[in-house]
Structure 1
Amino acid sequence: MLVEDFEDTSYVWTVNSAGGWARSNTAARTGTWSFKAPTTAHNASSSLTVTVPAGASSVQFWYRVSSESGYDFFRFSVGASPQLEESGDVDWTLSPVYALGAATQLTFTYAKDGSQSVGSDTVWIDDVAFVVPVPHLLQPVRSAAASMRASRW
Structure 2
Amino acid sequence: MAELTKSEQVAYDISAERTKKQAARNRGAADALNAAPPGAVERARARALGQVKTPVAPRASSPAKPTLSGRTIKHSSGMEVPEEIYDWPAERQRKFLELKAADLKKDSDDNAAMGMINQLLDLRDADRREIAALRTQMSTALTVVEGLQRR
Question: Higher helix proportion, which one?
Answer: 2
State the TM bucket, normalised to the shorter chain: under 0.3
Which structure's residues are more often strand, by fraction?
1
Q: Which has the larger radius of gyration?
A: 2
- Considering Cα pairs closer than 8 Å and 6+ residues apart, tell me whether 1 or 2 has the greater RCO: 1
TM-score normalised according to structure 1 size: 0.21
